């Protein structure tokens, strides 16, 4: 009997967790682009970040997903630590919606109709978005069915006094309950799953609310495990974000333990949160996160300082947002375009750093270098989007011929810098292919690449000097260097062909070598194109 009971409960729990996963995954697919925009738009005001976290988690029904997403945004340099803490505070409140939904008795009646609707949508729809909505609805239905299975499976335990007495231990010793909630949630990687199981047990009258409260408090600490795991191998700030999530819930636990057992407010809180144990569990879960947020929100700066002290270190993350663009200057196009030039200079320097790191990676097997290159490539893509969007807004203003010409050339420069960074990234992947297949370059080939790298780097230096100082001589020098690169590439290819013919070069090494040379040549062409666009603008100095 008990074996079947355990299997049914675990099966229902598995279906419940799978339903949450499908619900969250479907909602993220439906709203992913908008969600990223919303999270990225979290302003410097902390309350705005809390609201973003609340709304995001209400939409995707997973605080873990929001926390992991937030760690990713911090790791990418899109938001700072204070904004991330605010988002996590809001996410903790938003995740309580699942518990509120499953605590009502109507889920038994809604489960199958919801699955039927979702399945019809998924199989009949032709558009991917509609299919994702259908999968989201199926996930909700599976969540409800899992809940129903758990409640039905637990029904025989209503008359088992030993099991009831076992659960009463948690009301007599709240710290054991907190520990149980922490461990269970860490295993399931979902606070909603733990609360769902708790509500299923409570629905059969197996656990009093006094025993359930410490478990749901511990559940809030356990849910931090997902963000902590996701922060492994990320930046220092991303680790701080995950740790601040843990600190927030630990402080919340301390606050509630003091309120419930120190000030003996347990009876009062139970009385104001409902008449049935399932509703009381859902409401106290919400109350825990709302009260903790209200108390800790004014201390968000102090929390940030504490995390900085506990996890010291400095990040090397490159900001992924434009630093010099200001929408307030759009009504003054001349000033706005000057700011764009500053941003493009920064972008070109980032691309040169990528370029130099790639050459370093060619001689040194170090995954840290790869991360630095890819981090900067993401920055170039992100900032280029900001620049193009900003230039589009400026183009809608009344511009004279001179400013219109300047805007057009700056747009070309933005695209060329972004394409140059793409070529540098391609070189990195070619280096990885070379290493994975154990295909070394010959000594002569390595020397040829070094000469070509140095020549392209000289082109970078001349271009950046011209951009910084408005030095026409340096910008015109770019054409000469680019011509030298073309001649050098021709010579390198001829030498390479001879090595292939004499068998000095392995076939795969030869292909990789040729492709790297091609990408280096394209970088040189793009940098030369940027110098021509700058000369076309007829005003060079960046103020």
Q: How confident is the model at residue 29 (pLDDT cuts 50, 70, 90)?
A: low
Please provide the average confidence, as pLDDT, over all residues in the chain: 85
Quick: pLDDT tens for 358-387: 999 988 888 878 888 888 888 898 889 989
* Domain ranges for the chain: 2-152+162-310, 327-537
User: What letter does residue 206 receive in the DSSP assignment?
Assistant: -
pLDDT at 204: 85
Task: With cut-offs at 50, 70 and 90, classify the pLDDT of residue 459.
Answer: very high
> Model pTM?
0.63
Rounded CA-CA distance 356/520 in Å is 12
* Furthest-apart CA atoms within the chain: distance in Å: 92
What residue has token string 């008359």? 159
Nearest partner of 210 among 300, 273, 140, 121, judged by Cα: 273
How buried is residue 91: exposed, middle or buried, by Cβ count under 10 Å (0-12/13-18/19+)? Answer: buried
Q: Is the pLDDT of residue 45 over 80?
A: no
**Local confidence band at 39 (pLDDT 50, 70, 90 cut-offs):** low
Region 340-348 average pLDDT: 93
Lowest mean pLDDT among 296-310, 393-407, 495-509, 526-540: 495-509
Q: Would you state the pLDDT for residue 62?
A: 65
Long-range contacts of residues 326-334, Cβ cutoff 8 Å, at least 24 apart: 327/390, 327/393, 330/390, 330/393, 330/394, 330/397, 331/397, 333/394, 333/397, 333/399, 333/403, 333/407, 334/403
CA angle 454, 460, 464 (to 5 degrees): 145
pLDDT, one tens digit per residue, over 224-282 is: 887 787 677 666 877 888 888 899 999 999 999 999 888 888 889 889 988 888 999 99
CB 301 within 8 A of CB 93: no
CA dihedral 217, 221, 222, 224 (to 10 degrees): 140
Euclidean distance between CA atoms 29 and 35, whole angstroms: 10
Q: Residue 78: pLDDT above 90?
A: no
Q: Could you tell me if 467 and 352 are in contact, meaning their C-beta atoms sit under 8 angstroms apart?
A: no
> What would be the CATH architecture of the domain defined by 327-537?
Up-down Bundle (1.20)
Separation of first and last alpha carbons in the chain: 81
Q: Sorting pLDDT into bands at 50, 70 and 90, what band is 491?
A: very high
Q: What's the rounded Cα separation, in Å, for the pair 415 and 404?
A: 17
User: What confidence score (pLDDT) does residue 344 get?
Assistant: 94
Q: Which of 394, 416, 418, 419 is nearest to 406 (CA)?
A: 394
Helical ranges in 209-332 per DSSP H: 209-222, 224-230, 236-257, 266-272, 277-296, 300-310
| Nearest CA-CA partner of 340 in 386, 278, 293, 291 | 386
Exposure string for 233-247, b = 16+ CB within 10 A, e = fewer: ebbbbbbbbbbbbbb
Instruction: Please state, in angstroms and rounded to a whole number, the distance separating the CA atoms of residues 221 and 133.
Output: 31
Residue 107 confidence (pLDDT) above 70: no
- Mutual orientation of helices 443-469 and 472-502 as an angle, nearest 10°? 170
Phi-psi region of 261 (alpha: psi -120 to 50; beta: other; left: phi over 0): alpha
With bands split at pLDDT 50, 70 and 90, how would you rate the model's confidence at 394?
very high
pLDDT for the residue numbered 522: 95
Confidence of residue 132 (pLDDT cuts 50, 70, 90): confident
User: How much is the pLDDT for 65?
Assistant: 67
Report the C-alpha gap between 74 and 307 in whole angstroms.
Answer: 14
Overall average pLDDT of the 72-80 stretch = 69
With a pLDDT cut of 90, the percent of the chain lying above it is 31
Give per-residue pLDDT as tens, 515-530: 999 999 999 999 999 9
Does 105 score more than 90 pLDDT?
no
Q: What pLDDT, on the 0 to 100 scale, is given for residue 34?
A: 56
Q: What is the mean pLDDT of residues 274-302?
A: 91
Under the banding of pLDDT at 50, 70 and 90, the label for residue 542 is very low
Proportion of the chain above pLDDT 70, given as a percent: 90
pLDDT over 70 at 480, yes or no: yes
């Amino acid at each position: 009997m008990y074996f079947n009971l355990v299997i049914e409960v675990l099966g229902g729990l598995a279906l419940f967790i799978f339903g949450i996963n499908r619900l969250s995954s479907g909602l993220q697919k439906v709203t992913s682009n908008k969600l990223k925009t919303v999270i990225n738009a979290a302003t410097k005001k902390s309350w705005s970040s809390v609201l973003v976290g609340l709304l995001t988690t209400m939409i995707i029904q997973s605080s873990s997903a929001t926390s992991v997403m937030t760690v990713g945004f911090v790791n990418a340099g899109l938001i700072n630590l204070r904004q991330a803490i605010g988002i996590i505070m809001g996410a903790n409140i938003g995740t309580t919606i699942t518990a509120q939904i499953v605590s009502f008795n109507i889920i038994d009646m809604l489960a199958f109709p919801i699955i039927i609707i979702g399945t019809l949508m998924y199989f009949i729809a032709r558009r991917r978005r509609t299919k994702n909505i259908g999968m989201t609805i199926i996930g909700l239905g599976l969540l409800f069915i899992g809940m129903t299975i758990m409640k039905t499976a637990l029904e025989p335990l209503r008359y088992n006094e030993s099991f009831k007495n076992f659960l009463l231990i948690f009301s007599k010793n709240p710290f054991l309950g907190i520990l149980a909630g922490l461990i269970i949630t860490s295993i399931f990687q979902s606070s909603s799953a733990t609360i769902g199981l708790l509500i299923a047990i409570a629905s059969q009258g197996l656990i009093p609310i006094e025993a359930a409260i410490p478990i749901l408090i511990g559940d809030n600490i356990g849910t931090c495990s997902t963000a902590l795991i996701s922060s492994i191998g990320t930046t220092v700030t991303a680790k701080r974000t995950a740790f601040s999530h843990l600190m927030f819930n630990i402080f919340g636990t301390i606050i509630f333990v003091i309120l419930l057992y120190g000030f003996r407010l347990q009876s009062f809180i139970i009385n104001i949160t409902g008449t049935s144990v399932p509703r009381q569990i859902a409401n106290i879960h919400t109350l825990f996160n709302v009260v903790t947020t209200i108390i800790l929100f004014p201390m968000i700066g102090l929390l940030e300082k504490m995390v900085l002290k506990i996890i010291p270190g400095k990040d090397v993350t490159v900001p992924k947002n434009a630093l010099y663009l200001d929408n307030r200057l759009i009504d003054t196009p001349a000033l706005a375009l000057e700011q764009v030039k500053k941003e493009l200079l920064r972008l070109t320097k980032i691309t040169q750093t990528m370029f130099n790191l790639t050459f370093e990676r060619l001689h040194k097997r170090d995954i840290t270098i790869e991360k630095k290159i890819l981090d900067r490539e993401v920055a170039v893509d992100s900032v280029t989007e900001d620049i193009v969007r900003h230039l589009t807004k400026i183009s809608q203003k009344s511009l004279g011929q001179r400013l219109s010409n300047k805007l057009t050339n700056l747009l070309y420069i933005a695209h060329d810098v972004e394409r140059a960074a793409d070529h540098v990234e391609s070189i990195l992947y070619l280096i990885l292919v070379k290493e994975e297949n154990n295909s070394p370059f010959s000594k002569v080939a390595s020397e040829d690449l070094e000469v070509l790298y140095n020549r392209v780097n000289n082109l970078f230096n001349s271009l950046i000097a011209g951009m910084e100082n408005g030095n026409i001589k340096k910008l015109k020098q770019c054409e000469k260097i680019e011509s030298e690169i073309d001649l050098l590439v021709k010579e390198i290819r001829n030498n390479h062909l001879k090595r292939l013919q004499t068998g000095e070069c392995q076939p795969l090494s030869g292909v990789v070598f040729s492709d790297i040379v091609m990408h280096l040549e394209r970088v040189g062409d793009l940098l030369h194109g940027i110098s021509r666009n700058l000369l076309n603008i007829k005003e060079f100095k960046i103020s």
